Structure formats: structure tokens, C-alpha cells
Amino acid sequence: MSDRAGVLHVKGRVLVGPDDVRDELWVVDGRISYDRPAGARDVRTVEGWALPGLVDAHCHVGLGAHGPVDDGTAEKQALTDRDLGTLLIRDAGSPSDTRWVDDREDLPKIIRAGRHIARTRRYIRGYAHEIEPEDLVAYVTQEAGRGDGWVKLVGDWIDRDLGDLTPTWPRDAVEAAIAEAHRLGARVTAHCFSEDSLQDLVESGIDCIEHATGLTEDLIPLFASRGVAIVPTLVNIATFPKLADGGESKFPRWSAHMRRLHERRYDTVRSAYDAGIPVFVGTDAGGTLPHGLVAAEVAELVTAGIPAVEALAATTWSARKWLGRPGLEEGAAADLVVYDSDPRADVRVLAAPRRIVLNGKIVG
Ligand SMILES: [Zn+2]
């Protein structure tokens, strides 16, 4: 008989799905089981409301305010996310090689998108490969090889000559780039603040749009019919007025534009959700925002008008399905977070997890 020492028993309410609630699960050899293991001893019990490990679908590990950071700083970023319940990260672009994290059972799992690909001088300095359209396919090929099934483009940014946000890539360049990524089995997402960059990207077959503040009523049916997901990053959009103030004197048109996008942000997200566009939780941690904001982003989605259980799904059940990772299924790695009360009743409980279990071990 195999040794069953160190079995973990999670009991209370296990939220396997939004409507699939069970009384208990067991963790044996790091994996979830719904059958009490025979011969279990040294059983440790955790009680409360259990969710699958939260997903932050827009997070940057290994990125700081001025570009790449050292491994120690990247480790702290990942631990901060973990300690607030984020156990699966879609890294939306990092200039650092964080592949070493994969060997650490105590750190969140990361799905990488390689390094951001931006047009020359059209993004935050030190973050992206800054290139011209004729090189886009080659860079997409390269970053698809570095990532875990995603590639990240910067789809629009301020054009300092025009003084406003404008698309960064011509249509034929993104068409070729997205086709190549798909041929390689990678999905593509793009940073987009403005309205003008969206149509070309979506008609070219893009899979997801980050921020998507420029999503207007006329574009919503296009997104919905093609199933293009959005990751609104509302905790980041909240900083737009401050950015607008900073750029006011030099770029008044851009500032006014950023303010308009900010003012209608909740309506944008609510309209997208109402139209059936998949909406996922992303904090945009790293770079300018701190890590550990997942609970705040879920609360923002609720403020925008998304029902609490759907906002939860956007960081748990449906987010994991979208990224091709298991939740609390039999046999899956035991990555789960336990709370004092029902997060479906009030998502604010996400800010204070009682216990965090990663790869079957209590880590927080
Ligand atoms: Zn980002």
C-alpha cells in the first residue's frame, strides 16, 4: 500500500463550478480527489469556501517600471500575486526570461506571451521589441517560440506628431502576423486603448484585446460574433485621469481622449458583457501597477455591472477553461484558495484568503 502521509482534507463548500458545490475534497500526492483515500493518516484539514486558484489574465512577471527586473524581484512579484490567491498568470508580455519559475512548485503557474512587440518608439521605453511592420511576422514567430501559446502586440499608442492615440500597425502587417501565429498554434492579443485599432485587428482574426477601452457600440457585434475576448484591466484604466493630467500641456487631444475612454469604462465593459463577449480578469500588475490586485479587479467588474458570480467566473472557472487549464477536477493539481465566506455572495472576500494551496501544499 502506498504511503498516504500528508493528506489534505478540504471541507466546507467546494465551488467546483458556479452551480456545482460539493462538501469536501482530498489532496493526495498534490492532486485533487473526491474519494477519501484509503489508509489516510496525518490528515490536515482546511475548512471554508474553496475556489480554484485565481487567474490573473493580464499580469507581468519580470517587468518593472523601467523594463526587466532581476530574478529576486520577479520572485517577489510572483509571491505577492500568490499570497492574494492568484495561482495562474497569463503573462501579457515580459522582457525577462522567467522560465525558471516553472521549476518552482511554490510559485504561480505562468502562461507566457513572450515579450511585447511594439512599433518603434510607440510604447513605454524598455518594455517591448520596437520594430517596423516589415519585421512583424519574424518577431511574432520568435516570440511564439518563447511563449506558452500567446503572442502580445501593442496595437495602438500615442503618436507624438499627431498628439493622439493611433493604430501602430497597417492592416496587411497584422493580417500576416496573426495568420503566422495561428499557423504556429499561438493565440494573439493586443494592447488597445483607442477605437481605431480594433476593427483591423479583429477582422484579421485576433483572439483577445487587452484594455479594450475603445470598444464602442458599433464594434461590439463584431467582437461578439467572432468570440474575441477582452481583458479590461479596470484597475489600470483608473489611472487614466492622472496620465491625462500629466500629458495635458503637451498633448491636449490625447489627454481629452484618455479622459473620455475613462469616463465610459464601466459602460464599455457592461455593454461587452451584455453582448456575450467573453470578459476576463486582468490586473496589469508589473510595470507601473503593483502586484496582488486581483480582488480589486474582480470588484471593479462588479462595479461595472457584471453579476458577482460571473465576475468570479472571469477569474476562476471560465478563465481556466479559456486558457486550457483545469479547475477543481478529479486528478488535477490541487491549486485552490479557501475563504471564510461565500465569494458568490460578496466578491470582497477575495481580498482576504484564509488558506492558499498550490500543488497540494499549503503555501499561505
Ligand atoms: Zn500590460
CATH number at residue 43: 2.30.40.10
Which residues fall within 8 angstroms of residue 304, CB to CB, at 6 or more apart? Answer: 232, 234, 265, 266, 269, 270, 273
- The reply to whether 240 and 356 lie within a common domain is no
47: exposed, middle or buried (Cβ count in 10 Å: 0-12, 13-18, 19+): middle
Residue 93 alpha carbon to ligand 1 centre in Å: 7
In a domain, 344, yes or no: yes
d(CA 34, CA 328): 10
Q: Looking at residue 108, what DSSP letter applies?
A: -
Per residue of the chain (364 residues), what is the pLDDT tens digit? 344 557 999 999 999 999 999 999 999 999 999 999 988 878 899 999 999 999 999 999 999 999 999 999 999 999 999 999 999 999 999 999 999 999 999 999 999 999 999 999 999 999 999 999 999 999 999 999 999 999 999 999 999 999 999 999 999 999 999 999 999 999 999 999 999 999 999 999 999 999 999 999 999 999 999 999 999 999 999 999 999 999 999 999 999 999 999 999 999 999 999 999 999 999 999 988 999 999 999 999 999 999 999 999 999 999 999 999 999 999 999 999 999 999 999 999 999 999 999 999 999 9
**Contact, 150 vs 159, CB < 8 A?**
no
**Residues bordering ligand 1, an ion, CB closer than 5 Å:** 92, 284
Cell, residue 103: 521549476
In a domain, 148, yes or no: yes
CA 277 to chain centre: 16
Distance 63 CA to ligand 1 centre (A): 10
Q: For residue 289, report the distance from its CA to the centre of ligand 1, in Å.
A: 9
166: three-class secondary structure by DSSP: strand
Beta-sheet strands, E only, within 179-238: 187-192, 208-211, 229-231
Could you tell me if 33 and 151 lie in one domain? no
Kindly state whether residues 212 and 294 are assigned to the same domain. yes
The reply to whether 2 falls in a domain is: no
Q: What is the dihedral of CA 255, 261, 264, 266, to 10 degrees?
A: -120
- In this structure, the answer to whether residues 96 and 192 fall within a common structural domain is yes
CA–centroid distance, residue 23 to ligand 1 (Å)? 38
Are both 25 and 124 inside the same structural domain? no
Residue 178 CA to ligand 1 centre (angstroms): 19
Number of domains observed in the structure of the chain: 2
Q: Both 158 and 210 in a single domain?
A: yes
Ligand 1 centroid to 49 CA: how many Å?
Answer: 31
Q: How far is the CA of 92 from the centre of ligand 1 (A)?
A: 6
Same domain for 256 and 358? Answer: no
- 103 CA distance to ligand 1 middle (Å): 24
Residue whose C-alpha is closest to residue 156's, from 185, 116, 187, 183: 116
Is 43 contained in some domain? yes
352, 344 contact by CB (below 8 A):
no
Provide the CATH number for the domain around residue 232: 3.20.20.140
In terms of domains, do 182 and 248 share one?
A: yes
Domain hosting 163: range is: 54-322
Residue 40 lies in a domain: yes
Q: Measured in angstroms, how far is the CA atom of residue 337 from the centroid of ligand 1?
A: 25
310 and 337 assigned to the same domain: no
Q: Are 44 and 59 part of one and the same domain?
A: no
**148 and 240 belong to one structural domain:** yes
Query: Does residue 36 sit in the same domain as residue 173?
Result: no
Predicted TM-score (pTM) above 0.95: yes
Q: 1 lies in a domain?
A: no
Structural domain includes residue 44 = yes
Task: Give me ligand 1 centre to Cα 42, in Å.
Answer: 43
In a domain, 157, yes or no: yes
Report how far ligand 1's centroid is from the alpha carbon of 190 (Å). Answer: 10
* DSSP strand pairing (44-52 vs 8-17): parallel
- In whole angstroms, give the CA distance from residue 179 to residue 226: 15
Question: How many whole angstroms from 330 Cα to the centroid of ligand 1?
Answer: 33
